[in-house]
Amino acid sequence: MRLRRPHRFPAEQARARVRARRLEWLTLLCTSTVIAAMGLVLGNSQAMRTAWIEDLLSLVPPAAVLIAMRIEQRAPNQRFPFGYYRTVSIAFLTASLALTAFGALLLFEGGKTLLTRDHPTIGTMQLFGATVWQGWLMIAALVYSVIPPMILGRLKQPLAVELHNKALHADARMNRADWMTGAAAILGVLGIGYGLWWADAAAAIVIAASVLRDGLVNLNRAVKDLADEAPRRIETGDFDPLPERMRALLEELPWVKEAAVMLREEGHLLTGQVYVVPRADGDITRWVEEAAARLQALDWRLYDLAVMPVRRLD
Amino acid sequence: MRVVFQLAVALALSLSAGCEFPRDPEQSLDEIRRGVLRVGVVDNPPWAVHGAAEPGGVEPALLRELAAQLGARIQWVQGPEQELLRALEKGVLHVVVGGFADDNPWTARLGKTRSYYTTRFIVAARRQAPPLTELARVPVAAAVGSAAAGHLRERGARPAPPDWQYRALPSWRLPDSGLQPTGLTLYEDRQVMLVTKGENGWLVTLERFLDAQRPRIEALLREQARASP
């Protein structure tokens, strides 16, 4: 039985992968310190609780990315003849499902808090012998919580594009949007301080809505990926022009009369069928193999293309 | 980043303008400063004791001092717990006292202060009694129907008459009891006062006051217990 040859990353992407993994580990580490710091001063603010749960949830994407990056490199075998490249897509789906569910739950809780006119109670804490309003400590923790994801998100974004790793990309985007969560929660706590009890619930709703939105957007993409949508560019979300370029390349070959290309994404890879109509009979097997090699040279993400000579395209 | 900066500026301005922070959504602290502190009192000696005109006990004594500091008159409402706590929930009272512990079931609907004293219920022994290391099958005296009696039963201790050589009591009673500590603790109550939810300015004022009283609480408890044993 013939198995797929394992895909190897080009040197540049291999380096990007090492950096991406390092950044994801760093994200796990920083997020853990943020969660601990926020947990220490977590008071009765619904907004802060929501932001805290969001931070807990933001452990899921990096963990999923790290696990998926480890598994996707396994060589194809008898049980999984097509390899493990879809692992990233599955990780992406899992992470976005978690986000969606929690977003909906938090939105419901925020709405309930607002409707029941629940006034958040925040008293004082003892800090080095001084009595401090806990709200100040909560705000300090929230300010700290904003900084690491902002920096890490910016660093991860270009790597995600380079590697075409959608899970990493979603993670980077969520990190970059995290400062808004923090700012909203700070507004909520300040609102409590100003005696505006509803500000907190309102901020919680805004945060929950952003979590839900992240979840739905990513869920949508993950499902489309797994349903073999035509490849899209990761940066813009537009359809990738690569299939058209492949067709053009083939139709410039002297022996090709017509060609058609169907691609789908398998994790970061692009694979699929290529149909060619030869002008005349000849050494078709050799021609097809040469054509496949030339197509392969177009993009490092192309993998295991099946080039099939046919009499007619329709 | 600019948003954060603007927030910081707005905050600094409003704080330097001498505003209270945090403030109450329903202006409790303003009401109290302008005139009347409305206190609900649940009978629970020595913490709070219903009286003919005014309540006695440690917590009413503390609140008298706070009211004096704030220039407020106190309106006492002595009544049953459920009634007072419902009134507190609706913001009709400013604070309810009566030896509440911080794990009391009402705190889901009410605000509470940070605990300002921890009552430790211990097992004490007469001087000549043999030392205790555990409670299983040991007779220990405790008031009938008390929480201490429940904790004793849970630990396997047996009921005993009031004058028995081992007795459960709060640790602050030890100096006046003539008993020795056995080193065994039954449970702890973290004492709080209950307030209306979200009145954070008032809550912070109350907590700051209670923090300052911490060192006196035990002496006040003993004083109160001696006055009305």
Angle subtended by helix axes A134-163 and A166-193, to nearest 10: 160
pLDDT digits (tens, 9 = 90+) for A127-145: 888 899 999 999 999 999 9
A162 and A269 in a common domain? no
Closest CA to A216 of A266, A170, A264: A170
- Looking at the predicted structure, is the pLDDT value of residue B62 above 80? yes
Contacts of B197 in chain A (CB under 8 A): 118-121
Q: State residue B11's pLDDT score.
A: 61
- Cα distances (Å, whole numbers) of residue B193 to A56, A256, B63, B67, B76: 33, 87, 10, 15, 15
**Of the candidates A199, A226, A253, which is a domain's last residue?**
A226
A140 contacts chain B (CB < 8 A): no
CATH number of residue A65's parent domain: 1.20.1510.10
What mean pLDDT is reported for chain B?
91
How many angstroms separate the Cα of A289 from the Cα of each of A6, A257, A279, A309, B33?
18, 17, 17, 11, 90
pLDDT band (50, 70, 90) for residue A2: confident
Query: Is residue A3 one of the residues assigned to a domain?
Result: no
Report CB contact under 8 Å: A124, B204. yes
Task: Specify burial of residue A1 (Cβ count, 10 A radius: 0-12, 13-18, 19+).
Answer: exposed
Helix axes A166-193, A11-41, angle to 10 degrees: 20
Inter-chain residue contact A193 with B21, CB threshold 8 Å: yes
Do A134 and A43 reside in the same domain of the chain? yes
Contacts of B14 in chain A (CB under 8 A): 194
Q: Are residues A181 and A47 in the same domain?
A: yes
Task: Report the range of poorest mean pLDDT among A81-90, A153-162, B15-24.
Answer: B15-24
Q: In the listed set A187, A202, A226, which residue is the last one of a domain according to the structure? A: A226
C-alpha A288/C-alpha B55 separation (Å) is 99
Could you tell me if residue A236 is inside a domain? Answer: no
Does the structure's ipTM exceed the value 0.90? no
Give the separation between CA B194 and CA A123, rounded to whole angstroms. 12
With contacts defined as CB-CB under 8 Å, which chain B residues touch A186?
Answer: 4, 7
A249 shares a domain with A221: no
* Of residues B25, B204, B208, nearest to A119 (C-beta): B25
Same domain, A41 and A181: yes
Q: Residue B75: what are its φ and ψ, rounded to 5°? A: -105, 115
Q: What is the pLDDT of residues B126-152, one digit of tens each?
A: 999 999 999 999 999 999 999 999 999
Q: Which residue has the higher pLDDT, B172 or B3?
A: B172
Put simply, whether B190 touches A (Cβ < 8 Å) is no
- Do A164 and A29 reside in the same domain of the chain? yes
pLDDT of residue B71: 95
- What pLDDT, on the 0 to 100 scale, is given for residue B4? 58
Percent of chain B's residues with pLDDT above 70: 91
DSSP secondary structure code for residue B172 in this structure: G
- The more confidently predicted of residues A107 and A99 is A107
A:B CB pairs within 8 Å:
76
A119 reaches B (C-beta below 8 A):
yes
pLDDT at A156 over 80: yes
When divided into structural domains, chain A yields a total of: 2
Q: Which residue is closest to B10 within chain A, CA to CA?
A: A190
A217 in contact with chain B, both atoms CB, cutoff 8 A: no
For the residues B211-224, what does the mean pLDDT come to? 95
Task: Spell out which residues of chain A touch residue B201, defining contact as CB-CB under 8 Å.
Answer: 195
- Chain A residues close to B22, C-beta within 8 Å: 122, 133, 135, 192-195
For residue A118, which residues of chain B lie inside 8 Å, CB to CB? 197-198
DSSP per residue, A205-242: HHHHHHHHHHHHHHHHHHHHHHTTPPPB-TTT-PBPSH
Three-state secondary structure string covering B15-63:
HHCCCCCCCCCCCHHHHHHHCEEEEEECCECCCEECCCCCCECHHHHHH
Give yes or no for residue A174 having a pLDDT over 70. Answer: yes
Contact B227, B45 (CB under 8 A): no
- A157 and A60: one domain? yes
Q: Which of A28-32, A273-277, B65-69, B158-162 has the lowest mean pLDDT?
A: B158-162
- Domain membership of residue A298 (yes or no) is yes
pLDDT-derived band of residue A100, with 50, 70 and 90 as boundaries? very high
Asked, for residue A234, whether it belongs to a domain, the answer is no
Is residue A2 domain-resident? no
Pairing of strands B117-125, B166-170: antiparallel
| Domain that includes residue A121, residue range | 11-226
- pLDDT surpasses 60 at A243: yes
> What angle do helix axes A166-193 and B2-16 make, rounded to 10 degrees?
10
Q: Which residues of B touch A124 (CB under 8 A)?
A: 114, 203-204, 207-208, 211
Share of chain A above pLDDT 70, in %: 100
- Asked whether residue B212 carries a pLDDT value surpassing 70, the answer given is yes
Residues A250 and A176 in one domain: no
Of A120, A123, A186, the CB nearest to B204: A123
Is the N-terminal amide bond of A243 cis, ω within 30° of 0? Answer: no
Contact B198 A131 (CB under 8 A): no
B198 by Cβ neighbours in 10 Å (0-12 / 13-18 / 19+) ranks as buried
- Given a cut of 90, whether residue A231 has pLDDT beyond it is yes
Give the pLDDT mean for B188-204.
96
Q: Is B126 helix (H, G, I), strand (E, B) or coil?
A: coil
Chain B CB within 8 Å of residue A191 CB: no
Task: Specify which residues A131 forms β-bridges with.
Answer: A126
| Cβ-defined contact of A126 to B114 (cutoff 8 Å) | yes
pLDDT of residue A110: 93
Domain end point (choices A191, A226, A261): A226
Q: Which pLDDT score, from 0 to 100, does residue B19 have?
A: 59
* pLDDT over 80 (residue B12): no
Say which range, A197-211, B4-18, B106-120, B176-190, has the weakest mean pLDDT.
B4-18
| Nearest by CB: B198 against A124, A186, A197 | A197
pLDDT tens digit sequence for A32-86: 999 999 999 988 889 999 999 989 998 999 999 999 999 988 999 999 999 999 9
Length of chain A: 314
Domain shared by A99 and A144, yes or no: yes
How buried is B183 (Cβ within 10 angstroms: 0-12 exposed, 13-18 middle, 19+ buried)? exposed
**What residues of chain B, 30 to 59, have a C-beta less than 8 Å from chain A?**
none
Q: What is the CATH number of domain B20-116+191-227?
A: 3.40.190.10
